[in-house]
Amino acid sequence: MVNPDLLSFVRKDELPEKFVNVVHEFADHFKSPREYVPDFCTILTRSWRWNHSTLQDKLTTCLERFGKHSGRKKITEMIRRAFSLCENDDELKILRGALLEALVIGCHGGVQTLSSPNVGWGAQVILRNNIIRYRCTKKIDDNCRNRSTVDFGIWDGYHGKFFECKVHPDGIGCKEINYLETLSQTLKENNISHELFLVCAESIDSIRQRADILGLGLKFKLIGTKELQRMVAS
């Protein structure tokens, strides 16, 4: 039996308003098929090495290469405007992650889907009025911490899909994995059908290597650049 009220989402992750607007613009742009998704992802991964002091030079060089193909004028200007909003290195990091999340949102219908209580972006997952949380007790290093949000999630009344988005596979750490495992275990205990996805702006092989290092086995479905291209085109 369909049960749309079983799971819901409450947004908790905070972004500067200027980046929220960027996510909305890019999410709606990627509602439609775009042949340049892999090249867009390449910009995100290359920007991993950028810093604010060299941003404009790096961005100009990158966009000259990206924009030389026909049909890319609009997206090229969107990228230029988005990165030009960054005022420091921390904002560069925030923007990279937000643009990958925007791409995933676009693959699932764009901004309009975010108005549904059954779709979450940077949101807590609520099961029968209870927040699903991971509480870290290991404290192995400074990256160990509690977590209670999923980057993107959808519940259709029958089945849930939950996405963790990292531009580079090395960004996948213990708090992300432990939260998703806690989420999955809670859903299993309540007989709730679901899938977990790791999304990176890299090849599937790169993500698989990271998954192997973390000992993840087949717990998660992996989504790289080619898979994102197919999702946008579907």
User: Is the whole model's pTM more than 0.85, yes or no?
Assistant: yes
Alpha-carbon gap, residue 227 to 230, rounded angstroms: 5
**Three-class HEC string of 124-193:** EEEECCEECCECCCCCCCCCCCCECCEEEEEECCCEEEEEEEECCHHHCCHHHHHHHHHHHHHHHHCCCE
Three-class SS state of 74: helix
The predicted pLDDT at position 136 comes to 79
195 alpha-carbon distance from chain centroid? 15
Per the CB < 8 A criterion, the answer to whether 46 and 62 are in contact is: yes
Q: In whole angstroms, give the CA distance from residue 212 to residue 218.
A: 10
pLDDT band of 18, cuts 50, 70, 90: very high
- Give the span between the Cα atoms of 71 and 78, in whole angstroms: 13
Say what the pLDDT of residue 146 is: 79
Is residue 119 helix, strand or coil? strand
Q: Is the pLDDT of residue 9 over 60?
A: yes
Of 83, 75, 62, nearest in space to 32 by CA: 75
Q: Report residue 150 as tokens.
A: 């999923």
With 80 as the cut, is the pLDDT of residue 147 above it?
Answer: yes
Query: Which among 24, 48, 29, 42 has a CA at the least distance from the CA of 121?
Result: 24
Question: Residue range 214-231: average pLDDT?
Answer: 90
pLDDT of residue 144: 62
* Locus of tokens 């994102």: 228
* Spatial contact of 22 and 102, defined as CB atoms under 8 Å apart: yes
Segment 178-212, tens digit of pLDDT = 899 999 999 999 999 999 999 999 999 999 999 98
Q: Tell me if 221 sits within 8 A of 197, measured CB to CB.
A: yes
Candidates 113, 98, 119, 94; CA nearest to 8 is: 119
Residue 114 pLDDT more than 90?
yes
Rg of the chain taking only CA atoms, in angstroms: 18
Residue 168 burial by Cβ neighbours in a 10 Å radius (0-12, 13-18, 19+):
middle
Residue 141 has pLDDT above 60, yes or no: no
Q: Mean pLDDT across the chain, nearest whole number? A: 93
